[in-house]
Structure 1
Amino acid sequence: MRVLLPVDGSEVSMGAVHLALRMHGNGLRMEAVLANVQEPATLYELLVMHDPEAVDRISAQAGLDALAPARALLDAAGLQYECEVAKGDPAHTLVEISERFGCDMVIMGASGMSGLRSAMLGSVSNEVLHASGVPVVIVKPDSSEG
């Protein structure tokens, strides 16, 4: 089974990685696709930097940095994985990555937005849940924290 694990550096996205590792430890044979989606540069960033390639390099490095803790956990567990850092709208890009890598499931963290705010703005996890052609497991923030 190939599982997409979107990681943005947040605790809740790492909670999704921990859930995948527990599932693997309980006998689910899987390989993972770690993904990070960087939003495109703003016009201000492009004007200040004067170098779109430099902005792309910085964005790619930020994505790799966000994936580093998850990579360390998967390496320690001996779980096979691939990494993808992409740029674009997070929800649509994650669905595209899931399709391109042939993922059978997505395990991702919830944003932790309130119900009203989520209904008004939509969240990445909610959009992926509705747009994905494969099952999506959403890990909620630990309510005991905070």
Structure 2
Amino acid sequence: MANKPSIILAPVDGSEGSGASAAYAADLAAALKVPLRLLYAFPKDPVDMFGVPTEAPTPKQLEYFSPDAFARLRDESAREAFDRARKVMGETEAEVEETVVPGSPAEAIIEHADEAGDPLIVIGSRGLSGLREMMLGSVSHRVLHHANCPVTVVR
């Protein structure tokens, strides 16, 4: 990585923690005069999201097995997460992009970062206790330990 990142990646999921990390990332991007890319990870397909049904799927689940309905769910979910992040970020001088990345969150974020040049990932922490973190894991923990670029975790 060069002296400064070429882009800041801020994964968002609509949570309070991701909003705080997006606001921090926006301030940092403006100060460094680099673009900020908000990332929203969403499953690749309905099977990735719901699994292979072992019982008769509910009508709601069955609805999302339609490619159009699944795409609508993805787009609506992403829009909600991006809007919440932008609300917390407020006005910013940073150039802000929005990108939906397919797959499970940690893996999708890491893969996207690998293709982004010299990124810095700024990610929120859920703030789990040590034991719960160890048992459940977290996206921020996996990204921190497996990304091939600098990662800042915002609490």
| Fold shared per TM-score above 0.5 | yes
Aligned structure 1 segments of 4 or more residues deviating by more than 6 angstroms: none
Q: Per the alignment, do residues 49 and 5 of structure 1 end up closer, same or farther by CA in structure 2, a change over 3 Å counting?
A: closer
Residue 38, structure 1, aligned to residue 53, structure 2: no
Q: Per the alignment, do residues 50 and 97 of structure 1 end up closer, same or farther by CA in structure 2, a change over 3 Å counting?
A: closer
Instruction: Name the amino acid aligned to 1:18.
Output: A
Q: TM-score normalized by structure 2?
A: 0.77
Q: Which runs of 5+ in 1 are unaligned?
A: 141-146
Question: In structure 2, how many angstroms separate the alpha carbons of the residues matched to 1:30 and 1:53?
Answer: 35
Identify the residue that residue 69 of structure 1 maps to in structure 2: 84
Deviation at 1:109, TM superposition (A): 0.2
Q: TM-score normalized by structure 1?
A: 0.82
The 5 Å alignment of 1:66-145 reads 66-71=81-86, 76-140=91-155
Q: Per the alignment, do residues 115 and 68 of structure 1 end up closer, same or farther by CA in structure 2, a change over 3 Å counting?
A: same
Q: Cα RMSD over matched residues?
A: 2.2
> Is contact 2:19–2:89 with CA below 8 Å preserved after alignment?
no
> How many residues end up aligned between the 2 structures?
139
* Matched-pair identity in %: 31
Instruction: Name the amino acid aligned to 2:144.
Output: L
Q: Which runs of 5+ in 2 are unaligned?
A: 1-5
